[in-house]
Amino acid sequence: MADNIGNKAAHDYHLDVPAAQEGFYVKGAAHCDWGMKSRLARMFHPQSGNTVMLAFDHGYIMGPTAGLERIDLVIPPLIPYVDVLMGTRGIFRSCISPAARVGRCLRVTYDSTVLYDDMSNGGGFASDMENALGMGADCVAVQTFIGAAGESRSLELLCRTADAGARYGMPTLGVVAVGKEMERTEKFFLLATRVLAENGANIVKSYYCEGFERVAAACPVPIVIAGGKKLPELEALEMAYKAIQEGARGVDMGRNIFQSDSPAGMAQAIGKVVHEGYTPKQAYEVYEAVKNG
């Protein structure tokens, strides 16, 4: 073979330098495989270790939601300010550019719509793992109903997803639902977040509550908090700030961003809280500056 003639011989083995033993910064993932870590690293920023996820999957049970009537107009301009988009496959395909440089969290379970009294009473897979891989997902999300009618079924979906995720290096985000009947106490969130992590979730989405620092400490994987119903901007920033200071590794926020009078301002302000430790007051100034800019 011509290439063999005159080829430089390998010689620089750096025998005095130990092999690189890089740790891994995402909570609970140190023993995961390379592919799983690589996807987690597309979600959690390597510098802060935290993430800003933008949730716009509300239509999967609610139909058109205020602020999300035209997802194709509302969400793409926010992409530069967030780390991850969270949505359904129908919306990713129709409204989000496949070229967008952002993490993708795909919701892979469906539930009863708001037309039923109890959204936890049914549910199943909305997408299998092959579809998620085909769509280039970095994470798959499973809704769970701890303490409600759909508890057992939703935990089964979580476990099956975590099995497939372990095979393909796909992180599973377990979502703690808070329906009408479910408590929003420290006791409930301690139990629900821990149950999801123990059953295979690599990330847990939950809610901020009194005693959150104990909830975060007892959960062996990162918790990201949902925003819930729209709050005044300063209050939403205060909630995000307290959550991060008390151990959350990010937010997975929807209405408090896209229902704001300045979604771009709120997305940037939340990013400052999550990645740079801005106080609510400092972050509010960012929101105001973008809004008035």
- For ligand 5RP, give the closer residue by CB, 177 or 273: 177
Q: How far is the CB of 253 from ligand 5RP (least distance, A)?
A: 4
Options 32-40, 112-120, 183-191, 253-261: segment touching ligand 5RP (CB under 6 A): 253-261
**d(Cα 103, Cα 93) in Å, to the nearest integer?**
15
Relative to beta strand 139-144, strand 124-125 is unpaired
The SS3 call for residue 6 is coil
Q: How far is the CB of 230 from ligand 5RP (least distance, A)?
A: 8
Is residue 57 a contact point for ligand 5RP (CB under 6 A)?
yes
Options 30-38, 120-128, 222-230, 271-279: segment touching ligand 5RP (CB under 6 A): 222-230
**272 in active site:** no
Q: How far is CA 120 from CA 100, 117, 128, 147, 255, in A?
A: 33, 9, 20, 10, 21
Binding mask 168-197 for ligand 5RP (x = CB under 6 A): -------x-x--------------------
- For ligand 5RP, give the closer residue by CB, 33 or 69: 69
Q: How far is CA 63 from CA 57, 68, 255, in A?
A: 10, 9, 14
Please state, as a whole number, how many other Cβ atoms lie within 10 Å of the Cβ of residue 220.
13
Q: Judged by CB under 6 A, which of 126, 195, 226, 237 binds ligand 5RP?
A: 226
HSE-CB of 22 using CA atoms within 13 angstroms: 8
Beta-strand runs (E) in 177-277: 203-206, 223-225, 250-253
- In the set 27, 37, 205, 272, the catalytic residue is 205
Is residue 228 a contact point for ligand 5RP (CB under 6 A)?
yes
Binding site for ligand 5RP (CB under 6 A): 55, 57, 86, 143, 175, 177, 205, 226-228, 253-256
